[in-house]
Amino acid sequence: MSSVSVLLDDLGTALWRADALARSASAGGGAVASGHAALDAQLPGGGWPLGALCDILQDHSGQHEWRLLLPTLRTLTQTVVLVGPPQMPFGPGLAAQGLDVQALCWVRADSPAERLWAAEQVLQCAGVAALLLWLPQTRAEPLRRLQLAAQAHAKLLWVMRPASARHEASPAVLRLWVGAGPVAQPDALAVHILKRRGPPLLTPLHLPARHAALGTLLALPGRGTLPESGHALDRLAAAA
């Protein structure tokens, strides 16, 4: 085979057409399965991009991100860091969902500037596998720095932001707008893929929010609902 043919073959694997789904999730090329088969089928590389920023947009923080991310988080073997979550993480609820709470680190930071600074430091830590960062409205430049840091250190990075940010430009490799499912599937998640390395997805994905077996158990007569609480994840046994 000629050197020209080899070069063309290499370019064919490195480049992607905008009308086709890219083979790799990010410039780093790695991906981690989301745990949702329907979502993985629509993500370049078949999962969350490794070494890249993922925008998770919602109408209200704390509603859907745990349902979306837990299947991935419980497969990680290194530290998972939370910066600025809207509610206190609830250890028993997380442990019940298979997450190693001993490997979970919660960073309390109130202002956007504090959260951004903490996030940049976390992304440089060798023992960290993933960072979940909750941010209000912010400029593109701080997000670009986070994107570069995630890429340089090969970290999983999810940034939870308001749904209104979907109208703004973002350096994120992947942008999802997550909301409640249709009336016929009230416990599902509706996931709109706003940006990916590939063509736009015109219709949302509907992901089941709870395990089928658990959903059947909860539907049995006499099963009540769990009480409300100010903690995040204390009701995941009924929602995951």
pLDDT (tens digit, 9 = 90+) per residue, 123-162? 999 999 999 999 988 889 999 999 999 999 999 999 999 9
Q: Tell me the pTM.
A: 0.79
With respect to residue 136, please indicate whether it lies within any of the assigned structural domains.
yes
What is the band of 50 on the pLDDT scale with cuts at 50, 70, 90?
very high
Read off the pLDDT of residues 75-101 as tens digits, 9 standing for 90 and up. Answer: 999 999 999 999 888 888 888 888 898
The backbone torsions φ and ψ at residue 133, rounded to the nearest 5 degrees and listed phi first, read: -125, 130
Structural domain harbouring 181: 30-219+229-239
The per-residue pLDDT for 138 is 86
Nearest-Å Rg of the Cα atoms of the chain is: 19
With respect to residue 119, please indicate whether it lies within any of the assigned structural domains.
yes
Q: Which two tokens stand for residue 216?
A: 């059947």
Measured between its terminal Cα atoms, the distance across the chain in Å is: 53
With respect to residue 6, please indicate whether it lies within any of the assigned structural domains.
no
* Residue 239 in this model has a pLDDT that exceeds 70: no
The per-residue pLDDT for 95 is 87
Q: 183: which residues sit within 8 A by CB, 6+ positions away?
A: none
With respect to residue 22, please indicate whether it lies within any of the assigned structural domains.
no
What is the C-alpha separation between 77 and 129, in angstroms, rounded? 8
* Residue 228 in this model has a pLDDT that exceeds 80: no
Burial class (CB within 10 angstroms; exposed 0-12, middle 13-18, buried 19+) of 15: exposed
With respect to residue 15, please indicate whether it lies within any of the assigned structural domains.
no
Q: Higher model confidence: residue 188 or residue 223? A: 188
* Residue 8 in this model has a pLDDT that exceeds 80: no
The per-residue pLDDT for 217 is 38
With respect to residue 16, please indicate whether it lies within any of the assigned structural domains.
no
**Cα angle 171-27-128, degrees, rounded to a multiple of 5:** 80
With respect to residue 235, please indicate whether it lies within any of the assigned structural domains.
yes
Structurally, the chain folds into a number of domains equal to 1
**Of 2-16, 76-90, 152-166, 196-210, which gets the smallest average pLDDT?**
2-16
Domain CATH code at residue 102: 3.40.50.300
What is the band of 13 on the pLDDT scale with cuts at 50, 70, 90?
very low
Mean pLDDT for the chain overall: 80
* Residue 186 in this model has a pLDDT that exceeds 90: no
The per-residue pLDDT for 89 is 84
With respect to residue 8, please indicate whether it lies within any of the assigned structural domains.
no
**171 Cα distance to chain centroid:** 15
The per-residue pLDDT for 7 is 38
What is the C-alpha separation between 40 and 32, in angstroms, rounded? 9
